[in-house]
A = this chain, B = another copy of it.
């Protein structure tokens, strides 16, 4: 019997690759998209297309955090653009959303309990986003223990485990792996801005472009955008 898993699917490059990696591992995957009041809906559309593409159950949950405090939630804080690799690697970025991964993984745990799943998949990555405290391995370990203690599944001896298969991969390695797995990267969205085409300047666009460049592939999203104009 295939292990059942819940995959957090934002519609970005990393979560799409995580989904395909889990499918390749033989997991029976359900996807969960939490629409938490990002400034744009492009990722949400991508998440829906990705889940449809692999024909899996997909739950989309609206969770509007009414407080601000992150450039991803608050239009008055500019998203960072044009920073050097070194600047990106230090400190907690303004795109940090308070307690986001804990909220996401708690909701995924709820879905896991309701569907009898044992694995929570998250596309977290520690190289590109070293500043996010909720991407660190010791944080995931601690949350697993919290879920063991605080869920019915845990109380009954069915532990929920958190898997972050991309955690220590570079963007280049993620893209190389994803290309082998057949991830349709034209159906993923990374840009922090919500325009028709990626801005090319924000941290997320820069990391994505660098990854494709180093992996020796063209980004199919850019080709797609070009050909649709």
Contacts and interface: CB of A to CB of B under 8 A. Distances in A.
Interface of A: 59-69, 92, 96-103, 106-107, 109-115, 133-134, 136, 138-139, 142-143, 145-147, 149-152, 154-155
Contacts of A106: 99, 102-103, 106
Contacts of A92: 152, 155
B99 A103 contact: no
B151 A134 contact: yes
Interface of A, helix, strand, loop or mixed by DSSP? helix
Given A62-B64, A99-B107, A109-B98, A146 B152 contact: no
Contact of A155 (B111, B112, B133, B147): B133
Contacts of A68: 114
Given A92-B155, A99-B106, A133-B154, 15 more contacts: A61-B63, A62-B64, A65-B110, A67-B111, A67-B114, A97-B110, A101-B150, A102-B106, A102-B150, A103-B107, A133-B152, A134-B151, A136-B149, A139-B149, A142-B149
